[in-house]
């Protein structure tokens, strides 16, 4: 187990072009520390370094993704949202208009957006914002209370987020350590 | 014309890259800062700062093949660019100008 967990965390959070160099440094530092401090202390130092790195990697990864991909992600989200809004009457007509089907559709959207390189998480985040705005604009007479729109967005977010998390897990398991 | 902004930690990382010259590897940069400043510095913080500095054009990196100790993972070697050198020089001048006459003593 040992360093595998750290490797998985770094891979999940660091930008892909930095991850391999960081993982290499972890191995090199751990090997050097193991010679002077012993294996268990070297492992503890390595873990502590990874834990202290998590926040900076997470924050930097998110900001870099936003800076690099926001136009592309926003375009993906806008097209998807437009399709969602345009097909609302269709789903009702063919009997797939219920809340359960809605969640299922959002999960499928999460799966599709999650497979698009460069903008998966960001496009889902933009899509949630647009869905919230669309919910508010379309059903303003029913959703005058903000929490109802928020609960709908949260429900959609959970459906898409679950798919994104599942995709990340699958990628993590498929990559060689 | 406004000068490029250099944060406190970015400043330290650039100085470490300059000190290490041809050996400016991520791990060495981290160790250099820890050794000279006694700060607790994480590998993640060093690499995110290095990447930010590279995007600002203050340093450039080359990728080298990994060794057995690194589990054959690549390593990045960082070097300062002329723009980075100018920016560090300007930041140092600012610090000196602001510190002058305050009676601050350098510790050795």
User: Which of A26, A60, A64 is the closest to B43 by Cβ?
Assistant: A26
Question: Cβ B73–A20 below 8 Å, yes or no?
Answer: yes
Q: Is A53's Cβ below 8 Å from some Cβ in B?
A: yes
Tell whether pTM > 0.80: no
pLDDT at B53: 95
Contacts of A160 (CB under 8 A, 6+ apart): A106, A107, A109, A110, A113, A124, A127, A128
- In this prediction, residue B19 has a pLDDT band, given cuts at 50, 70 and 90, of very high
Q: Note down the domain range covering B65.
A: 8-93
Instruction: Tell me the C-alpha distance between B105 and B108, whole Å.
Output: 9
Average of pLDDT values for B15-38?
A: 94
Evaluate whether residue B78 is within a structural domain: yes
- Whether B76 and B64 have beta carbons less than 8 Å apart is answered as yes
Mean pLDDT lowest among A128-137, B19-28, B88-97: A128-137
User: Which of B30, B44, B71 is the closest to A56 by Cβ?
Assistant: B44
Evaluate whether residue B107 is within a structural domain: no
Question: Cβ B26–A22 below 8 Å, yes or no?
Answer: yes
Evaluate whether residue B32 is within a structural domain: yes
Q: Is A56's Cβ below 8 Å from some Cβ in B?
A: yes
Q: Is A27's Cβ below 8 Å from some Cβ in B?
A: yes
- In this prediction, residue B67 has a pLDDT band, given cuts at 50, 70 and 90, of confident
Tokens of A159: 């459906």
Query: Which CATH number does the domain housing residue B68 bear?
Result: 1.10.10.10
Whether the per-residue pLDDT at A143 is higher than 80: the answer is no
Query: Which of A12, A18, A24 to mutate to probe the B interface, most B CBs <10 Å?
Result: A24
Question: Cβ A53–B42 below 8 Å, yes or no?
Answer: yes
Task: Tell me how many domains chain B contains.
Answer: 1
**Tens of pLDDT, residues A18-68:** 999 999 999 999 889 999 888 889 889 888 999 999 999 989 988 888 888
Residue A14, min C-alpha distance to chain B (Å): 8
User: By CB neighbour count within 10 A (0-12 exposed, 13-18 middle, 19+ buried), where does B102 fall?
Assistant: exposed
pLDDT at A175: 67
Partners of B29 on chain A (C-beta within 8 Å) are: none
Query: Which of A4, A25, A52 to mutate to probe the B interface, most B CBs <10 Å?
Result: A25
Evaluate whether residue B20 is within a structural domain: yes
User: By CB neighbour count within 10 A (0-12 exposed, 13-18 middle, 19+ buried), where does A167 fall?
Assistant: middle
Name the A residues in 87-106 with CB < 8 Å from any B CB: none
Question: Cβ B27–A29 below 8 Å, yes or no?
Answer: yes
Question: Cβ B45–A52 below 8 Å, yes or no?
Answer: yes
């Amino acid at each position: 187990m040992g360093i595998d967990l750290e490797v998985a965390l770094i891979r999940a959070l660091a930008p892909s072009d930095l991850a391999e160099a960081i993982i290499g440094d972890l191995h090199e530092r751990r090997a050097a520390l193991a010679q002077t401090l012993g294996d268990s202390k070297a492992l503890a130092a390595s873990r502590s370094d990874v834990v202290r790195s998590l926040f900076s990697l997470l924050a930097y990864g998110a900001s870099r993704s936003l800076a690099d991909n926001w136009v592309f992600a926003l375009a993906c989200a806008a097209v998807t949202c437009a399709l969602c809004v345009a097909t609302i009457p269709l789903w009702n007509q063919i009997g797939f208009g219920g809340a359960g089907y809605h969640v299922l559709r959002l999960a499928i959207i999460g799966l599709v957006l999650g497979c698009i390189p460069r903008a998966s998480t960001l496009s889902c985040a933009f899509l949630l914002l647009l869905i919230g705005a669309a919910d508010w604009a379309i059903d303003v007479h029913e959703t005058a209370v903000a929490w109802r729109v928020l609960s709908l967005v949260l429900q959609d977010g959970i459906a898409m987020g679950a798919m994104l998390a599942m995709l990340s897990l699958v990628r993590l398991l498929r990559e060689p350590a | 014309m406004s000068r490029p902004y250099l944060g406190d930690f970015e400043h330290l990382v650039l100085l470490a890259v300059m000190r290490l010259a041809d050996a400016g590897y991520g791990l060495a940069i981290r160790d250099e800062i820890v050794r000279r400043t006694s700060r607790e510095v994480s590998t993640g913080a060093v690499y995110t700062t290095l990447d930010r500095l590279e995007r600002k054009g203050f340093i450039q990196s080359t990728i080298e093949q990994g060794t057995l100790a690194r589990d054959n993972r690549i390593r990045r070697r960082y070097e300062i660019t002329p723009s980075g050198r100018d920016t560090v020089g300007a930041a140092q001048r600012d610090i000196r100008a602001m510190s002058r006459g305050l009676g601050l003593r350098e510790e050795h």
